[in-house]
Structure 1
Amino acid sequence: MREKLRVAAYAVCVRDGQILLARSPDDDGIPEWVLPGGGMEHGEDPYDTVRRELMEETGYRIEVTGLLGIDSYRRHFAAEGPLRLPTDHHSVRIVYTGEITGGELRNEIGGSTDMAAWQDLDAVPALRHVPLVDVALRLWRERPAAGRFAEELS
C-alpha cells in the first residue's frame, strides 16, 4: 500500500455573523463548500500557505490572527486503474483564524474552487460542505487549549 501525506493550512474568517467559504466540486463533480486554504508547497511555511491559498481562492488578503488547532485525518483509497496502488492517505490540516485586511471578493479562475462567498453562520449546517468546515467551526467556537478536542486526546 502506498502512503501519502498531505499538509494543508486553512483559515476561519468570520465577520458580522458570516464565515468566508469557497466552493469546490467533490469527487463526483458536485459542488460543496470548503474552508479557504489548501496544500503546502515544499519548503513553504504554513503561515504563508494559508495567506497564499486564501488570496488565490477568494481575492482577499488576510492577517493570520491565531492558531485554532490541527486536525489529522486518514482515509484509505482502493487501487484505481491498472497503474494505481491502494493508498493510505493522511491529511494534516492546520486551522488558523484570519482577518481580512485588503483585496476584493472574487471567484478563483482555473483553480480548485469556482466560487467564494460569505455564508451566514446559522446557514452552514444546511449547506453541502466538507466535514472540515464543522471541525473548524467547532475549534473556533470552543477554542480548546490543546488545539484538539478532549475526546481526541484520550
Structure 2
Amino acid sequence: MRLPARSLARASPGAPAAQLALGDTFAVTGRYADAVPLYARAADLSFDEPTMLRLVDALSRVSRQRQASTALALYLSQNPQSPTGQRILGHWHVMAGNWTAAIETLEAVRRRIGNRDAGLLTDLARAMPGRRRVTAQIRQRFAMRAPPMRLRR
C-alpha cells in the first residue's frame, strides 16, 4: 500500500507533524502497533498535548499500559497543571480502584474547570462510593480485631 504520509514522514524526519500524519494513518486503520513508534518519535521532537493523547491511546490499545503510564507521567512532569493529563490520571486511578488518589486528582481538575465535564463527574461518582466501601471495610477489620468491651460495675 502506497501512503503519501509515509513519503512525508521519511522526507521530514525532524517534523513532528509528518510523524503524526503517518501515525494517524496507521491508527485510523487500526494499526496501533505501527503508529506507536511514530507517535513516540513525534513526542521526542515536540511533546505537546495532542501528541501525548495519541501516544497514550495507541500504547493502551496495544496493551502496553506500563509504557502509556510512563508517557503520561513524563508529560505531567513537564506540564503538571494540564487538566487533560490530570483527567486521564484520575480516570486510571478510578479504573485501578485507587479511590483516594482518584478523588484527589479529579477534584483538583474539577476545581479548575468546573462542573461541565460529564466524564469527570462520572469518574468522581464512581470513586466516592468506592472510597466509602474501603473505609467501611477497614473499620470492620479493626472492629473484628478489637478486644471485646467489658462493662464496669
Rg larger in 1 or in 2? 2
The one of the two structures with greater contact order (alpha-carbon pairs below 8 A, sep at least 6) is: 1
TM-score range, shorter chain: under 0.3
TM-score by length of 1: 0.21
TM-score by length of 2: 0.21
Higher strand fraction (1 or 2) = 1
Higher helix fraction (1 or 2) = 2
